[in-house]
Structure 1
Amino acid sequence: MPVTWSDEVDEVLRDDLTCGFAYITPAGGAVVTAVAPLGLRDRERGTVGFTTSLGFGRKLDRIKDEPRVALAYHAREHGIGDGTNRHYVLVQGDATFDPTPDREVLDAIGERLVPYMGQPRRGPFWDRWLSAYYTDRVPVTVAVTRIVAWPDLRMKGRPEVFGAPLPSVEAPPQEPPKKGTGPRVDATNAGERAGKLPHRLVAYRQADGYPAIAPVEVKSASSDGVRLTVPVGVPQGGRRAGLLAHSYRAKLIGLESRQNTGWIEVTGTEALYAPHTESGFAAPPNKTIMLLANGFMARRGLAKARKEGRAQALGR
């Protein structure tokens, strides 16, 4: 039977402008990035969703190889709700996508986008420049396995579970990577950047193979790593983990994102995170500049996907 959920949870799924999306890496770690869900969900079928672009990143490649994913609805600002619902909602499930959606599907997504993002720019230039961004949208549908809802955005309090029970055992520590667990990029800079942004999420693989996502606080940063405070329930010991720190403004006009993959060592509610890779971007709060950048990155990413054969493998 499809998993269903409460009205309070549905309100969060409907209203949030952005959420964290996590997928599993081939090495058994997790990557977490920000996506715009646009209220995509179906309570009768037990699904939630979001869209991405074929030209952005390798999310679709990873989903194709390992469909178990997670979405964390962790922020209330700038959505279509009044912000009074403070639940932290973690959705876990199996993702599929349609690499060649028909025009009606894309048009329906465009209509859903308006309340969250405003009217799209139209005209000969913008239609051509943003073609890779708008017409190469890929709908991702997640068949929900479970939803865990905490009454507090800091993941505090007694959670309510919809669907499959949570794993009865904690994920055991993972084997350290061959290159060691210490930082491979500047941990001080990574921690300072993350600490300046209002939203920070860590993702890891839990005992049943699904990624989990938890909000964290940055306490300090040094050459040894980034010291974090993590919620109760994050598994103890060492493991591969992804870290996302981000900020965004209304309609996503003005945003910043900093991503890391690395190694986390957890003791109680304290953790030391050693970043191994880093990426990120910052977009100024100017809609014209944002759209120009979106068009450029989508076109460049799509050209790269085609050159590497990834677009053909996905049906494009």
Structure 2
Amino acid sequence: MTTSPVRWPDAADAVMRGDLTVAVAYVTPAGGAVVTSVSPVGLADRQAGRVRFTTSLGFPKKLERILRDPHVSLAYHTRDHGFAASSSYVLAQGTASVDLRPSPERLTELMRASEPFLGKTRRGPIWDWLLREYHQERVFVDVDVERVTLWPDLAAHGAMTVTGAAWPEQPNAQKPPKNGTGPRVDLAAVARQIGGLPHRLLAYRGADGFPVIVPVAVTGHDDAGLHLDVPPGMLPPGGRRAGFLAHSFRPQCVGLGMRTLTGWLTVTDEGARYAPHTTKGLAAPPYKTLLTVSNGLLAKYGLWRARRDGTAARLQHLARGRVG
């Protein structure tokens, strides 16, 4: 654990302030990791050693898991449609806190920061009503960074440069799940679903509790799982729970596709194989107006559901427990 803010190097800072979309991973109670994508709109404060992103009450499981175990990682893994020119792969790992009721000043700052990345905010009586929950009911996840690791290329090849806490030893293999380690979904269907999603990453829990997010390539599949090509030395040997993300996105995130998997990773001298156990997909239309309307309606529904089923109150209780 570091005792003072981690002030990452200039090369990492440019990437963290400029990438449009990054991968975020958090850990599960069973010792696995889930990895998904977010748009942090450049919210990185090197002086404070902190990065942040936002989400909504419509994703309560993610928030619950972060509140219960705050080990979080962000992988800056693609320069598509952002402002950073570097070819470096950057992994930031740290301890998260969740602000369920951000101040008006924070929300104003978010809107100001988001426009260069996501486009100008729609204004007017109808738009203000439609987007009220989407803009005003955001949840901030603030990550106090403990380690920033930089590789010279986006495939995470070459020597890594570590700022902050030392890179840990490789974790031990995990006990196989009771239901077995093999695939539990249609692998041919999964292969088709991720076929048009060029950015692929794998996440597992490291020895110090922080997720490690690794860029991977899928080279094929058989009855045992997806075959992975990975950077040398980036995956520990043995078997373990792991999350998988495949995604794509267009400028301003107007049009995106995402497929998230959980499953079992096996690494041997012969290579790496991933057996998916669950799969979920998300797609957003490549039309600005339709996307904006969808975001507004989904935010209204998500907030209504969170209040109706007690999610909002449950998250507040967990957050108070963390503070106490």
For the aligned pair, the TM-score class normalised by the smaller chain equals over 0.9
What's the CA shift for 1:25?
Answer: 0.5
What's the CA shift for 1:259?
Answer: 0.5
Determine the C-alpha separation between the residues in 2 that align with 1:9 and 1:133.
30
Q: Which runs of 5+ in 1 are unaligned?
A: none
Which stretch shows the higher mean deviation, 22-31 or 179-188? 179-188
* Contact persistence 1:37–1:49 (CA under 8 A): yes
2:69 pairs with 1:66: yes
SS of match in other structure, 1:120: coil
Partner of 1:41: 44
What's the CA shift for 1:222?
Answer: 3.3
Moved over 3 A (4+): none
* 2:48 partner amino acid: R
SS of match in other structure, 2:302: helix
* Contact persistence 1:73–1:90 (CA under 8 A): yes
SS of match in other structure, 2:246: strand
* Contact persistence 1:80–1:115 (CA under 8 A): no
Once the two structures are superposed, residues 231-290 of structure 1 have per-residue CA deviations (whole angstroms, 9 ceiling, x without a partner) of 222111110000000000000001000011111111248211111111111122101111
What number of residue pairs does the alignment pair up?
Answer: 313
Aligned-pair identity (%): 51
* TM-score, normalisation: structure 1: 0.95
Partner of 1:248: 249
Once the two structures are superposed, residues 198-248 of structure 1 have per-residue CA deviations (whole angstroms, 9 ceiling, x without a partner) of 100100001111111000101112333111112222111110000000000
SS of match in other structure, 1:104: helix
2:262 pairs with 1:261: yes
Q: Aligned runs of 1:27-106 on 2, under 5 Å?
A: 27-81=30-84, 83=85, 85-106=86-107
Which stretch shows the higher mean deviation, 194-203 or 156-165? 194-203
- Structure 1 residues 91, 268: CA separation in 2 closer, same or farther (over 3 Å shift)? farther
Once the two structures are superposed, residues 147-191 of structure 1 have per-residue CA deviations (whole angstroms, 9 ceiling, x without a partner) of 110001000000000000011x21111000111111111122112
Determine the C-alpha separation between the residues in 1 that align with 2:40 and 2:14.
13
* 1:148 partner amino acid: T
Determine the C-alpha separation between the residues in 2 that align with 1:48 and 1:144.
7
Determine the C-alpha separation between the residues in 2 that align with 1:207 and 1:191.
30
Determine the C-alpha separation between the residues in 2 that align with 1:44 and 1:93.
15
Which stretch shows the higher mean deviation, 216-225 or 43-52? 216-225
Q: Which runs of 5+ in 2 are unaligned?
A: 318-324
Once the two structures are superposed, residues 96-155 of structure 1 have per-residue CA deviations (whole angstroms, 9 ceiling, x without a partner) of 121111111101110000110110112222222222211111121100110110001000
Q: Aligned runs of 1:302-313 on 2, under 5 Å?
A: 302-313=303-314
2:146 pairs with 1:145: yes
* 2:50 partner amino acid: T
* 1:244 partner amino acid: L
Partner of 1:181: 181
Q: Aligned runs of 1:166-205 on 2, under 5 Å?
A: 166-167=167-168, 169-205=169-205
Determine the C-alpha separation between the residues in 2 that align with 1:61 and 1:186.
29
SS of match in other structure, 1:197: coil
Partner of 2:166: 165
CA RMSD between the two structures: 1.4
Determine the C-alpha separation between the residues in 2 that align with 1:152 and 1:301.
38
* TM-score, normalisation: structure 2: 0.93
* Contact persistence 2:72–2:96 (CA under 8 A): yes
* 2:192 partner amino acid: E
Determine the C-alpha separation between the residues in 1 that align with 2:269 and 2:124.
56
Partner of 1:112: 113
* 1:259 partner amino acid: T
* Contact persistence 2:60–2:311 (CA under 8 A): no
Determine the C-alpha separation between the residues in 2 that align with 1:230 and 1:206.
16
* Contact persistence 1:46–1:143 (CA under 8 A): yes
Determine the C-alpha separation between the residues in 1 that align with 2:38 and 2:283.
15
* Contact persistence 1:192–1:221 (CA under 8 A): no
